[in-house]
Structure 1
């Protein structure tokens, strides 16, 4: 089916480097100039957010690139206000590309008289005129059900699998994938299946919130290269302690693959001083200078995956095809061949 309208990209301030990289890759794929739509997204003196779109977007297929990372409230409001500006400018369809979906950890009531903030955010996004969501590694997959519009949830595991095969190509038989808790087993199992590796679990028990009383390794990690897999790293306390426990149980070395590098407070310092040989993050959240300067932290790009997903949505073709190595592999092969990763 021929596409009559053009895809156009617009970005808030949350992760401009990722948005610009997606724009460059789309220009390369399409063979036409695909710059970000010219707009200003700024704040008045009292903190109010103001958006002005300088280009005509009437009848266009609009993609807003804006993770709702720290500061989550400001970045969420930017996304909502950009969507409202585009809807009032007669865009034909508005897709929110949210590489990191903030408030995802508040997906259920954990105790009496608490909110389900992820559902509230879903209502706000649809109320602003957004008609489709494209995101990556939702903290809880059931958040997709909070929306009455299509939600495409991409996964970092195919990217991580390609990276593991490139980085450990001569030592794949020694690899052991580790989930840092029981709740993340499905995510870790997905990577383990892709690289044909065994799975282990670190069972943690808390006496009270924020404190980990005990960690137990389920599985034999002796002489293994352990890869801890999780969807986000916030303060890195659990991650660093899990790495130490794995080494104490005989692991040869420990690495970590994390989808979203929230990296709050002392996280970078903890990782730098930890026993982990490497921490691999994606760029769904714009890495700080401290992260980029850390000797044992490495960033893998998500722009190739998001670019192809945006083009597939625009063309009306399958997004789930990007979960397969045979589809995603060629997109990343050139990056590994050039040594840029």
Structure 2
């Protein structure tokens, strides 16, 4: 490739050597060093046109990523100072891509900061592979080619899996559904989804009940709901436009207010509170109760209601839902990231006992809550969870704003939490391809593999990822898992030799040298990139 030169950092020399070999060019000479205080030093030759290829990835040590980023920025700046015509940063694994959105109010969007640093350094073009979130392309002020490893993975499947046409592509979490459906469409296969939830099915009603009691006490509304006053007479004639308060009652019949224009109020712990407040909206049912209705304990009534609703829904589902796909939903229990039988004892605490106020023992006053108030408070209690709830999200309550992957890994490793796993899709007697963009921790991969085999009845499990980060003992743990048959990743992220030795029998590394080299060549000559996204048999 005439008129261009490739420079490389110290993060992934094998990948750069493969790119230069494919392009038929020699690697540019650059001197990389460090001062005694840890600062990075870069010196390069001056060329007419420069393409800077320095993958900002690291080897085994995670701290090397920061060094690689600084190395790349200094190299770009050096090329810019050397009057380079154009500079292209080739970054197969984009660093800090998992920090592409705010997860807390005072959190940082670090991926956008890296994009801004590249722009300030002087980059003109960026080539990367499988961004964690494709929306990150909007962070850059220059063109971005977000290549995909999907055609390479699909080609490996066609060549190495004999009965791949019977397989099912499965996403190990809802966030990777789009990536999974894309591969399934390319191979014309079915797909499925595995989801995990910290809330156990058997404790959902108990949580709502506890949350209801606590909400009533926190807001001071519990004392106001006790029917110590005579109820309203619904048969009494009330003049139009007249508003009624609890205090304005005589012998069970309401009397007109002196000033109807004032807002309606009620007494809560001795204080007048407007009826229009959020609490009063949920408490409004207590003001219209017939006294002759017997008050039953709420716990007994809730359980009865639950059983009645389940029986009623079961009858309806038997009549209405005749689609076979409705039966392809399988549930299971996960303890420490592994599937357990229904007879397995539960951990010390359940997922719904994350905070102490929910796990408190019932008090005597709980039995005084009228049964008719249950339906209204079940909905309000679920929407008034405390700020430290495990499912509360700092930026508006959307799952997209939460660090779902990290939370999921922590929950699966926690010995005191039991997780409910759900498999949607029919994988019985079929091989399964579990796909995601990066492979950093093993808990979610192993949990998904055990779910499709032990619960779904799958025959084999192949797990695929573009970036094999393999943090900690991830690769070793997945290699010890007998359910996983193959681990397939690309060399977009460098995998050290000692880690590859941990899973020689299962690990398969697909080269992306040709993909990146072709992208560099097409970008240099101004050719179309669209063919790099196509599948070839």
Give me the TM-score of the superposition, normalised by structure 2: 0.57
**Alignment partner of 2:486 out of 274, 278, 299:** 278
1:312 aligns with 2:522: yes
The number of equivalent residue pairs is 315
Alignment pair present for 1:211 and 2:411: yes
* 2:257 counterpart residue number: none
Give the equivalent residue in structure 2 for 1:251.
458
Query: 1:144: which partner in 2?
Result: 137
Q: Which deviates further from its counterpart, 42-51 or 289-298?
A: 289-298
Deviation at 1:64, TM superposition (A): 1.8
Alignment of 1:49 onto 2:55: no
Given that residues 291 and 297 in structure 1 are in contact (C-alpha distance below 8 angstroms), is that contact kept between their aligned partners in structure 2? no
Q: State the 1:216 CA deviation.
A: 1.2
Q: Which is higher, the Rg of structure 1 or of structure 2?
A: 2
Instruction: State the secondary structure of the residue aligned to 1:271.
Output: helix
Which of 31, 41, 49 is 1:40 aligned to? 31
- Structure 2: gaps of 5 or more residues: 199-350, 352-389, 391-406, 413-418
Q: CA deviation at 1:190?
A: 1.1
Shift >6 Å, 4+ stretches: none
1:65 counterpart SS class: coil
Alignment of 1:256-271 (within 5 A): 256-271=463-478
1:156 corresponds in structure 2 to 149
Deviation digits for residues 209-240 of structure 1 (CA, Å, limit 9, x no counterpart): 22132321111111110000000011222111
Corresponding residue of 2:19: 22
- 1:67 corresponds, among 56, 63, 83, to 56
**CA 99–142 in structure 1, closer or farther in 2 if over 3 Å, else same:** same
Q: Which has the higher contact order (CA 8 A, sep 6+)?
A: 2
Q: C-alpha deviations, 1:303-326, integer Å up to 9, x for none?
A: 011111110000101112211124
Matched, 1:134 2:127: yes
CA distance in 1, matches of 2:102, 2:431: 37
> How far, CA to CA, are the matches of 1:136 and 1:320 in structure 2?
14
SS in 2 for 1:93: coil
CA distance in 2, matches of 1:41, 1:243: 43
Matched, 1:202 2:191: no
Give the TM-score normalised by structure 1. 0.89
Question: Mean Cα displacement is larger for which, 288-297 or 101-110?
Answer: 288-297
CA RMSD across the alignment:
1.4
Q: What residue ranges of structure 1 are gaps of 5+ in the alignment?
A: 28-33, 330-341
Alignment partner of 2:440 out of 234, 244, 267: 234
Deviations 1:133-162 (A, max 9, x none): 100000010100011110000001111011
1:299 matched to 2:505? The reply is no
- Per-residue CA deviations over 1:228-285 (Å, capped at 9, x if unaligned) read 0000011222111211111112010101110000100011111111121000010011
Quote how far apart the aligned CAs of 1:124 are.
0.4
For residue 102 of structure 2, what is the aligned residue in structure 1? 109
Shift of 1:45: 1.6
Greater strand percent: which structure?
1
Match of 1:188 in 2: 180
Do 2:46 and 2:79's aligned partners in 1 also have CA atoms closer than 8 Å?
no
Q: Distance in 2 between matches of 1:265 and 1:286?
A: 15
